Amino acid sequence: MARPSATTHSAPLLVLYDGACGLCQRSVRFLLARDRHDALRFAALEGPIGRSVLARHPDVEPAADSMRAVIGHELPGERVLVRSSAALAALAALGGAWRLVRVLEAVPRRWRDRLYDAVAARRHRWFPADACALPQQHEQHKLLDLRPGARDAGERVPSADARGAGPARQEAIR
């Protein structure tokens, strides 16, 4: 059976990430900077789009803060990859030499996910969450939580860090 690929569907690959995670924020910025073929979209797991995807796929691993990659978002046959498989799919979607990361799929998923889990368990210590840098104008269409209508007034979905902070901290994070 062929492995799912972001390029087998016309829709961009949707990457769901933990908005309160510094490593996740850096990963999104890394992917945004290299997505020259407009192959990726991003949404926070805790935002309305992330919650909607998770509600449609209750059978997907329940770790709420693990990266997800959605192939064929809102299309028939929508599929959700998690953890190391999601990370590899996001990198491969960049195209060019990045597709070579697919060779890592030869490593058993159990082993890849152990490494993923080891980093995930320490990510908040190693990469504290910071105020997200605002996307450049040409990148804004890729961040689905920033689109008008993503929330009541089209506001950006604040990270868990901002939701627990007072109004002054929330403004600084936005």
Which residue type is seen at 129? A
Confidence class for position 90, pLDDT limits 50, 70, 90 = very high
pLDDT at position 14 over 80? yes
Question: What is the per-residue pLDDT across 106-124, written as a single tens digit (0 to 9) for each?
Answer: 999 999 989 888 887 777 7
Number of domains present in the structure of the chain: 1
Question: Which domain, by its residues, includes 113?
Answer: 6-173
pLDDT value, residue 65 = 64
| Overall average pLDDT of the 60-77 stretch | 81
Confidence class for position 153, pLDDT limits 50, 70, 90 = very low
Residue 135 falls within a domain, yes or no?
A: yes
For residue 10 the two structure tokens come to 């016309």
pLDDT value, residue 100 = 92
Dist CA 90 CA 121 (whole Å): 21
For residue 94 the two structure tokens come to 């960049």
Residue 120 falls within a domain, yes or no?
A: yes
Residue 1 falls within a domain, yes or no?
A: no
Residue 35 falls within a domain, yes or no?
A: yes
